[in-house]
A and B are shown apart, each in its own frame.
Chain A
């Protein structure tokens, strides 16, 4: 990885994390409730776009957009944290739903993006 690509990954990664933060906040504020719809919306949309990108880009371009931007935009750690906290708060069914729904919609979204 050249220094230019590394810098690009950093900047796009920062942008992806910012976009996640803003969309998560906006969705959570509007929808409310206990289910983490904000992270769900981020992960589902990012999986869809990665499906599109995976068929169209490779090499450095894929590293920048797929690994940098979309990798930072979507998150695994928050998905796990929110599922665990739902369980701790006595909402285990919602935590399990968060596992299952994110997986099902995530794989479907990547598949759909790839068809385009």
Chain B
């Protein structure tokens, strides 16, 4: 795999910003294990909305740029959102016999996450048709 150092640097810079933003949200919205994790849910929804917007706009509307997508998409949105913490939270719910809450959390995350991509993608495309 060919590696572009400036592309990697853009990913690092975006990751720095995204991780710091997420840590701020985690600190602002604490929760006990087994409770609905608003911090994770909110960063995942917000980051997915942003990724759907950026990716569609950068791929389908704006002239190709080598560093916008690695910085905004791979870096910021990738680091702001998290898969590992979500899985740990689901396991905590299951082990606390909160099976219904776990199913609700997984279902809501997937439904809202998928809808976030669907809506932003189609809004960007519609804007490109009319404007």
A residues engaging B (CB < 8 A)? 1, 6, 9-18, 20-22, 25-26, 29, 43, 46-47, 49-51, 54, 63, 66-68, 70-81, 83-84, 99, 102-103, 106-107, 109-111, 114
A36 to B3, CA, bound (A): 20
Assess the A71–B16 pair: CB atoms within 8 A. no
Assess the B85–A67 pair: CB atoms within 8 A. yes
Going nearest first, the 8 A-B pairs with the smallest beta carbon separation are A13-B19, A17-B15, A72-B79, A76-B81, A14-B12, A74-B83, A106-B87, A77-B51
Q: Which of B17, B24, B78 contacts A75 (CB 8 A)?
A: B78
B13 at the interface (CB under 8 A from A): yes
Q: Which of A17, A22, A110 contacts B3 (CB 8 A)?
A: A22
Assess the A47–B16 pair: CB atoms within 8 A. no
Asked if A106 meets B113 with Cβ closer than 8 Å, knowing A16-B19, A76-B47, the reply is no
Assess the B87–A18 pair: CB atoms within 8 A. no
B88-131 to A contact mask, C-beta < 8 Å, 1/0: 10110010000000000010011001101110010000000000
Assess the B114–A84 pair: CB atoms within 8 A. yes
Q: Give the interface SS of chain B, mostly helix, strand, loop or mixed.
A: helix
Residues in chain B near residue A79, CB distance under 8 A: 83, 113
B84 at the interface (CB under 8 A from A): yes
Assess the A80–B70 pair: CB atoms within 8 A. no
Assess the B48–A77 pair: CB atoms within 8 A. yes
B residues engaging A (CB < 8 A)? 1, 3, 8, 11-20, 22-24, 26-27, 44, 47-48, 50-52, 55, 70, 73-75, 77-88, 90-91, 94, 106, 109-110, 113-114, 116-118, 121
Query: B55 — nearest CB in chain A belongs to which residue?
Result: A81
Assess the B19–A10 pair: CB atoms within 8 A. yes
A1 to B51, CA, bound (A): 27
Instruction: Tell me, rounded to whole Å, the shortest Cβ–Cβ distance linking A75 to chain B.
Output: 4
Assess the B17–A10 pair: CB atoms within 8 A. yes
Residues in chain B near residue A81, CB distance under 8 A: 48, 51-52, 55, 117
